[in-house]
Amino acid sequence: MSKIGVIGAGSWGTALATVVADKGNQVKIFDVDEKHLRSMEEHRENVDYLPGVQLSDNIQMAYSSEEALKDADVVLFSAPAQHFRSALTSAKEYIRPDALIINVAKGIEKGTHKRMSEIATEIMGDEVMDRYVVLSGPSHAEEVGRRMPTTVATASRNMEAAKKIQDLFMTDRFRVYTIDDVVGVELGGALKNIIALGAGISDGMGFGDNAKAALMTRGLAEITRLGIKLGARPETFAGLTGTGDLIVTCTSMHSRNRRCGIMMGEGMAPEEATAKVGMVVEGMFTAEAAYELAKIAGVEMPITDAIYQVTQGMLKASDAVGLLMERDKKHEIDNDNDW
């Protein structure tokens, strides 16, 4: 039995807490929204973000980072990507030096263009990477919370740490693989949100399966292109944390990014669509960070460019379609990676 501290009481943090609590582990959840925690404690349910999923008796609310992380064997960060830096900074002094750290945020920090593991290294030093694990893959909280079959992967430069988290989460309804490509897993999880916005925009404009299939396939190509340039392995993007996560995020109504995109495709302003979703739409932030990162890396990402311009109100969705469809002729697969 392990003691797990969870930072962030959104849908995903709650769903993952449910997985490990069902196995007899003791979980304490902290969130900056005290009113939200009081509601969860009273109703034994995350009414706001994961309704219908009853919380195990093994899950308790904590009203400070210190309370949640004291004596924790494992610390799970489920804060939005743009808030991970502040969450880790606030929690740092309470994390045991031997505790494993899991991050499930999928994004790139605006301004710095850093992945979540790079932020962790900046705050806690390079040695933290020996106990830092990314958990990612095609996994909607709404399904995980209801014990529907789901498969994900844990990534770390230290495979022993990845295997320990694999063992912690593995059940007959939650299958976990391991991988050592942290860069690829983080980029796959972050960048697929941008493509999901595009898939939603396509749906909102009334386009069909042909358009979505093309968008997903060419989107994966440019995700892979940037990933390789930044040190990831290309095969990572063919796995659960690449193709798998891309498929589920681009096709499901559980996806906040797709829902937001649908509303934009129907003509709603980006900021209005984001507000209507009611939760953080990571792709809206990551589009800007990825657009800038691609320019810095010298990587061509036309779909990301177009979606970034649409999310910023610089380009109409209908005009973006024309820009993408009328680009110069290309060979689909170039062995020199000159895409």
pLDDT tens track for 233-263: 999 999 999 999 999 999 999 999 999 999 9
What is the pairing mode between strands 132-136 and 150-155? antiparallel
pTM: 0.94
> Is residue 62 classed as helix, strand or coil in its secondary structure?
strand
Structure tokens at 209: 């399966």
Tens-digit pLDDT profile for residues 158-177: 999 999 999 999 999 999 99
Kindly write down the DSSP assignment for every residue of 79-94, as one continuous string: S-GGGHHHHHHHHGGG
List CB contacts of 45: < 8 A, sequence separation 6 or more: 51, 52, 53, 54, 55
pLDDT mean over 88-106: 97
Tens-digit pLDDT profile for residues 49-59: 999 999 999 99
Domain spans in the chain, listed from the N-terminal domain onward:
3-180, 183-325
Structure tokens at 93: 């002094």
Query: Is 192 among the residues known to form the active site?
Result: yes
Torsion sign over Cα 248, 252, 257, 262: positive
The architecture that CATH gives domain 183-325 is: Orthogonal Bundle (1.10)
Q: Phi and psi of 51, rounded to 5°?
A: -65, 145
Fold that domain 3-180 belongs to in CATH: Rossmann fold (3.40.50)
Tens-digit pLDDT profile for residues 229-238: 999 999 999 9
List CB contacts of 331: < 8 A, sequence separation 6 or more: none
Q: How far apart are CA 260 and CA 256, in angstroms?
A: 6
Q: How far apart are CA 211 and CA 289, in angstroms?
A: 25
Single out the catalytic residue among 192, 276, 295, 330.
192
> Closest Cα partner for 180 from 262, 104, 96, 236?
236
